Amino acid sequence: MKRVFVLASILLLSACIFGGGDSGTGPRRPGAPHSKPHLKAAKSGIPTDAETRQCYASLNRKRVEFRSLPDRGTPGSCSRIGTIQLLDIGTPVTNLGAMRCGLADRFVNWVRYGIRPAARQILGSDVVKIESFGTYSCRGIVGNGTASRLSEHAVADAVDIAAFDLADGRRISVLEGWNSDNQQVRAFLRVVHRSACKRFSTTLGPEYNSAHRNHFHIDMGGGHFCR
Ligand SMILES: [Zn+2]
């Protein structure tokens, strides 16, 4: 019975997604989600329209500039559902593509209340640019041998952060800074990592495995994991 229901939901969802009629990727007004109200019966983890609307409102309150993106793909495979692209959050961030709105909303808070204050307090300089390795990517999990499970990147619910450029000209990278001789640099990266652990479901860094020696991976998948 349950299986039939899930199947029906997926079919309904596919019909809506590929049924078309969705257009426009311009800046969004509050309360105007991109997708039609058809995601109510979606698989767990897929944002509902109501959640996406609330998320837009939250970003608007923070004076964040963003654009909503059209839904692509189906749950259970590579998909971008309820995603946006951050255009201006006050600090330039490179390589930001599609992100689920909830991830983007938390990411803004991390930058503003975690990363920037930490740089000022510990390194005595402002972060003027954050270097990302990207967000959406249709692939399995890397670094665990067999890539049997889809990465959270494959549903646009993850972002990889590699380095922080400071106003004084320094570039603090996860690769060179994590085990740096400079105590302040080490402390800064650890504070930023800990701050991510408080805000996101999963935070992975150089202590997790060698695939993460050069970036922090953060995502909003199920459970909680911080390493
Ligand atoms: Zn990642």
- Three-state DSSP at 131 gives strand
- In the reported structure, the alpha carbon of residue 131 is separated from the centroid of ligand 1 by a whole-number distance in angstroms of 13
Half-sphere exposure of 125 (CA within 13 A, CB side): 16
Q: Domain ranges for the chain, please list them.
A: 2-226
Which segments within the chain are labelled E, that is strand? Answer: 65-68, 72-73, 79-80, 83-88, 99-100, 127-134, 158-166, 171-173, 202-204, 216-219, 225-226
- In the reported structure, the alpha carbon of residue 4 is separated from the centroid of ligand 1 by a whole-number distance in angstroms of 33
**What is the per-residue pLDDT across 7-53, written as a single tens digit (0 to 9) for each?**
434 333 333 332 223 333 344 443 344 433 333 323 447 889 899 99
Q: What is the pLDDT of residue 146?
A: 54
Residues 188-193, mean pLDDT to the nearest whole number? 98
- In the reported structure, the alpha carbon of residue 134 is separated from the centroid of ligand 1 by a whole-number distance in angstroms of 8
Between CA 29 and CA 105 the distance in angstroms is: 16
Do residues 161 and 114 lie in contact, with contact meaning Cβ atoms separated by under 8 Å? no
Strand partners, 83: 100
Could you tell me which residue, 5 or 37, shows the higher pLDDT? 5
- In the reported structure, the alpha carbon of residue 160 is separated from the centroid of ligand 1 by a whole-number distance in angstroms of 5
- In the reported structure, the alpha carbon of residue 158 is separated from the centroid of ligand 1 by a whole-number distance in angstroms of 6
pLDDT at 74 over 70: yes
**87 burial via Cβ count (<10 Å: 0-12, 13-18, 19+):** exposed
- At residue 144 the predicted structure's pLDDT band, cuts being 50, 70 and 90, is low
- In the reported structure, the alpha carbon of residue 5 is separated from the centroid of ligand 1 by a whole-number distance in angstroms of 32
**What is the per-residue pLDDT across 145-185, written as a single tens digit (0 to 9) for each?**
555 688 999 999 999 999 999 999 999 999 999 999 999 99
- In the reported structure, the alpha carbon of residue 154 is separated from the centroid of ligand 1 by a whole-number distance in angstroms of 10
- In the reported structure, the alpha carbon of residue 223 is separated from the centroid of ligand 1 by a whole-number distance in angstroms of 16
- In the reported structure, the alpha carbon of residue 174 is separated from the centroid of ligand 1 by a whole-number distance in angstroms of 13
Q: What is the mean pLDDT of the chain?
A: 83
Residues 122-150, mean pLDDT to the nearest whole number? 86
What percent of the chain has a predicted confidence (pLDDT) above 70?
78
